[in-house]
Every structure is written in structure tokens, then in C-alpha cells.
Amino acid sequence: MFDPTAFENIKVVIEGDIYDRDLSGEIIVIDRNDWINAAKLSRKYEISFTKKGYDPGLLSATMTIEAGLENLSAELLESVDAKQLAGCLVGISFSLVHQNEINIFEEVQKVLTEIWGEDRAIRQTVMLEALENKSPIQNDVKVAFNRLVYEEQIDDLSEMVHYMINSLEKIKKIIL
């Protein structure tokens, strides 16, 4: 019998939680990608959503999980030394469009630090028209955990979805 990998188990739980919230009308799933890289023997899954009633072109959230060859082999080989690699990388990101004003960047940083904690690396990257210094701009915000997530922490991932929704609500108040 096939024993699913940590990546597969985590993906199924995340996907189920997010689609349950979509079916209840709390959020709207706007994109989903599931990649297998045959050259590097890696997997990547991402799912994006926004709150019901929000414009997905102006504000959305994405959860990404990734597992590389080292993660899969650590799990399948089950050596004691490799067990620490038998997990996935999880990333959270937000895409928002807002005016190019420093106070908005500072408020977004402050709110996300309050929600996700001081230990998280929160990075804002801006895209704008280089020859036209006009607003609004596209701000891609990444919340990095800089560690692997293991199957034993699956329940924490459902809590992360709640934090993502809370983040969307607070960011919307800032960018409007």
C-alpha cells in the first residue's frame, strides 16, 4: 500500500481547510498550482485566496509548500540522521496594491509582525513602472519561517490559514 509523503499529507490538509472555508463563503480561492519538477525531483504547491467581497486584484494571500529531493529521500530512507529533513518548507505571501506612501509600508510591516510574531522575516518587495513614478504600486509581502514544517505540526497549518485571513482583514483597513 502507498504511504503518502509528508508533503502529500500536508498538502491535503491545507487544501481541505482552505476549500472548506471557500465553500462556507468565508474566502474565495482565486488560484491553485501544483508543480512537479522532474529535473530536480521536487514538489511545490500553492493556493491563493482572498476574503469574500474583496477585489482579488488588489488584495490576496498565498500559502506555498515545497519539498525537495533531500526532504523526500530523508523520509523514504528513514535514517535517524536524515529525519530532521523529512518535512516541507511553508511560505506565506500577500499581494496588495496601494499608494506608494512610506506610512502604508510601515503599517503593513507593523500589523504583520503583530500577527505572525517577531521571529518571522517579513519582506516587502515593490513593483512599479520604472519610467512613471505613479501610484498605485504592487507590493508583494513574504512571511518566511526559515525552518521545515513536519507532519506532527499539521494542526498548526490550519491555524496559519486563520492568521492569513486575519492579515487580509487588517491589511485592507490600511490600504483603503
Q: What is the structure's pLDDT at 73?
A: 79
Q: Which amino acid is at 17?
A: D
Q: Is the dihedral of CA 84, 85, 86, 88 positive or negative?
A: positive
Predicted confidence band at 1 (pLDDT cuts at 50, 70, 90)? very low
The larger pLDDT score, comparing residue 84 to residue 57, is at 57
16-52: per-residue pLDDT in tens? Answer: 999 999 999 999 999 999 999 999 989 999 999 999 9
What is the rounded CA–CA span in Å between residue 86 and residue 90? 13
Predicted confidence band at 2 (pLDDT cuts at 50, 70, 90)? low
CA distances from 107 to 6, 21, 42, 112, 169 (A): 36, 27, 36, 8, 13
pTM: 0.92
| Number of neighbouring beta carbons within 10 Å of residue 76 | 12
